[in-house]
Amino acid sequence: MVPNHNVRIEELKEIARKLRIDILKSITEAGSGHPGGSLSAIDILVALYWRVMKHDPERPDWPDRDRFVLSKGHAAPALYAVLAEWGYFPKDWLWTLRKVDSHLQGHPSRKDTPGVEASTGSLGQGFSVAVGMALGLKNHPSKPHVYVMLGDGELDEGQVWEATMAAAHYKLDNLTAILDFNGLQIDGPVVKVMDTSPVEEKFKAFRWEVKLIDGHDFNEILSGFEWAKSVKGKPAMLIAKTIKGKGVSFMENKVEWHGKAPTREQLEQALKELGAM
């Protein structure tokens, strides 16, 4: 299955709205999880899976497919909502999130979940895996592209910078990284926990091409991915400015929603805001 360039921006917005609902329902049902970073990432994932990546839910192991790695593995509810919508697994699985023996663990597990390319959760490791994938696919006849999403708090990990250096050294122009730059991590604002600024200049110094985008504007997201595919001889980084908890007023830009589930009453309020009630 190839990306469908006929999917209009308004359709992408509607898909993202519905998937925000699925994310919140699944986390509430689980009683735990990470809504803030899942909601900040979902617009980017919708753009990727509906308009950018080559993939086929009927053939999850299709050799010619593009790959996506969620290095910020705690945002798994966003990835699961996307995969379920595409039919990689039954949608009913969403309501088993984080339960014993569920196919949907709290962080992505390649052996348990169709469509998951790498088991992630220990921050920094998914990025390294994606670099290895891109290196292995560099000379593949169909030129699969590897996409990887990191969180801005994840940049605290030294492993991220080792992978960044390796990707540039091997000239991995089949690799696009997306930084979900929402400014908050579990312990507070990123700039207070561990200030990694200036992020753009750092990646440029590591010999990456870098572009800043609005991670909730589908026009900017799609043009960013188009730009990234045009980069030759080096990897590309999209720094996507996002809002943690995007779409739910009482969650937006609130660090406490990094890793806790809504109550049933809070879910009801969120669903009203998202037009589900």
Q: Which residues are paired to 238 by β-bridges?
A: 178, 211
pLDDT for 168-194, tens place per residue? 999 999 999 999 999 999 999 999 999
Which residues lie closer than 8 Å to 203 by C-beta, 6 or more apart?
Answer: 164, 210, 237, 239
- 162 vs 160: CA distance, rounded Å: 6
User: For the chain, which domains are there?
Assistant: 9-273 (3.40.50.970)
Would you state the pLDDT for residue 276? 87
- 18 vs 142: CA distance, rounded Å: 33
- 221 vs 198: CA distance, rounded Å: 21
* pTM over the 0.75 mark: yes
Q: One digit per residue, pLDDT tens: the chain, 277 residues? A: 666 678 999 999 999 999 999 999 999 999 999 999 999 999 999 999 999 999 999 999 999 999 999 999 999 999 999 999 999 999 999 999 999 999 999 999 999 999 999 999 999 999 999 999 999 999 999 999 999 999 999 999 999 999 999 999 999 999 999 999 999 999 999 999 999 999 999 999 999 999 999 999 999 999 999 999 999 999 999 999 999 999 999 999 999 999 999 999 999 999 999 998 6
pLDDT for 51-64, tens place per residue? 999 999 999 999 99
Would you state the pLDDT for residue 275? 95
Check if the beta carbon of residue 261 is closer than 8 Å to that of residue 236.
no
Structure tokens at 137: 């696919």
Q: Which residues are paired to 176 by β-bridges?
A: 147, 236
- 158 vs 69: CA distance, rounded Å: 19
Residue entry with tokens 């994938």: 133
